[in-house]
Amino acid sequence: MALIRPRERDAVLQSLRAGVVPRIGQHLIQVGRAQELRALIEDVDRIADGGSTFRLIIGEYGAGKTFFLNLVRSIALEKKLVTMHADLNPDRRLHASGGQARSLYAELARNMATRTKPEGGALAGILEKFIAQAKSESEQTGVSTDQIVRQNTQQLAEMVNGYDFADVVLAYWRGFEKDNEQLRADAVRWMRGEFTTKTDARAALGVRTIVDDASVYDQLKLLARFVRLAGYSGLIVCLDEMVNLYKLANTHARASNYEQILRILNDSLQGSAEGLGFILGGTPEFLLDTRRGLYSYPALQSRLGQNTFARDGLADFSGPVIRLAALTPEDFHVLLEKLRYVYASGDPAKYLLPDEAIPAFMHHCGQRLGDGYFRTPRTTITSFIDLLTILEQNPQVQWTSLIDRLAVQSDTGGEADKTIETEDEFTTFKL
């Protein structure tokens, strides 16, 4: 097997040790959940075919929701889709009247990614590609580039706020043609939702609207249509930390956000959002709580209800909700082997632990946490990397002594070498 580059190795290990999802190298540690991943790949193909999708990825804290979303994003990029992603927080919501929805859109736009710009900031590049395609078509047909740009953007005019969106694209083209950097920058700013007043937008671009709280979803539909005109297969929007809507104290604000989710869900199920997909990550409480969760909104509860025949080990991955199953012990064994492999930079000669150490470590975790360490792999991954770090920096130490000592302390209730931290409703432990 090929050696792993130091940059990729360090990015994976540092992220995992900090309890966050690595931006690169997810394929190095992906295990299990083949059916869930297959269902999302089918969604990607449906979007590329001009369809629309909506998925809720439900799992406990630390169960791997964010990792799963990032993995799907990387697959979508490889299939020539454009992706946008953001985490919800108190200042970023789907529906608001104080700028929080526009703030969410601005974050999505900043994180807009393509295969050539996977880290984000791809909006200007997409506009450049649209212009380049128009110039190429102009050379082939003999029609002026300006006329082709106008013809192509005319398709956007039929949509909500489409006239102004088309005018902004034309403004970018004028800036490109006249080498006017300011005009191009203003067009990108408008598309990113960075104009806060209509007066400023009209002075800069001659348009009468801006991206505000009320138009966020309509703007995403326009972007989905536009990226297809630019030669991409479609647009996927990934929203994580949806539990922040569940935490909203104001009942009306919570209901308004759930109503926006219902609108997105209805459009997706009816196929009226061309080339656009949504993937939302949340906790079981966010979905199932009948007092504050999505199930508190009757229209959503009826649409998101579980298949009544999906029980006794049977699963349905065709519905809008995908519940992340716990990793099996076999999956977890493979995961730890992959972490050992990544830590050794892909060189088995540099393994810090022998094969028999992995089941011993799993037995230790099972005794301390029970079956919980399968459901929330984040904590165990962090501890395993901590163990490897200790062995690397202290070559005189035997792995057996570390695990045996911890096992004895667990049995006797000793606290000398054990730290337990509680944060965000889940528990982490460190070697």
Three-class DSSP labels, 267-330: HHHHCCCCCEEEEEEECHHHHHCCCCCHHHCHHHHHHHCCCCCCCCCCCCCCCCEEECCCCCHH
Whether the pLDDT of residue 171 is over 80: the answer is: yes
307 Rama class: left (phi>0) / alpha (psi -120 to 50) / beta:
beta
Provide the sign of the torsion angle of the four alpha carbons 263, 269, 275, 277, taken in this order. positive
| Higher-scoring residue by pLDDT: 122, 311 | 122
Mean pLDDT of all residues in 141-160: 90
Contact 297, 258 (CB under 8 A): yes
Closest CA to 291 of 323, 321, 246, 261: 246
What kind and span of H or E run contains 429? strand 426-430
Its pTM stands at 0.84
Helix (H, G, I), strand (E, B) or coil at 6: helix
Mean pLDDT of all residues in 243-272: 95
- If you search the block for the tokens 């929080």, which residue do you land on? 100
Q: Domain 33-121+233-323: which topology? A: Rossmann fold (3.40.50)
Provide the terminal-to-terminal Cα distance of the chain, rounded to the nearest Å.
30
Mean pLDDT of all residues in 354-364: 89
Map out the domains of the chain as residue ranges: 33-121+233-323, 124-205, 329-430
| Higher-scoring residue by pLDDT: 308, 130 | 130
pLDDT tens profile 53-65: 999 999 888 778 8
Contact 101, 216 (CB under 8 A): yes
pLDDT tens profile 217-239: 999 999 999 999 999 999 999 99
Q: Which residues pair with 276 in a beta bridge?
A: 52, 235
Mean pLDDT of all residues in 332-340: 92
- For 158, phi and psi rounded to 5 degrees? -75, -10
> Quick one: how far is CA 420 from the chain centroid?
29
| Distance of alpha carbon 23 from alpha carbon 8, whole angstroms | 10
Percent of the chain at pLDDT exceeding 70: 90
Contact 80, 236 (CB under 8 A): no
Q: How many residues does the chain have?
A: 431
Per-residue model confidence (pLDDT) at position 215: 95
What is the residue-wise DSSP string for 58-111? E--TTSSHHHHHHHHHHHHHHTT-EEEEEE-BTTB-SS-SSSHHHHHHHHHHHT
- If you search the block for the tokens 């889709």, which residue do you land on? 81
Whether the pLDDT of residue 32 is over 90: the answer is: no
- If you search the block for the tokens 């090929």, which residue do you land on? 2
Burial 147-168 (b: 16+ CB within 10 A, else e): ebbeebbeebeebebbbbbbbb
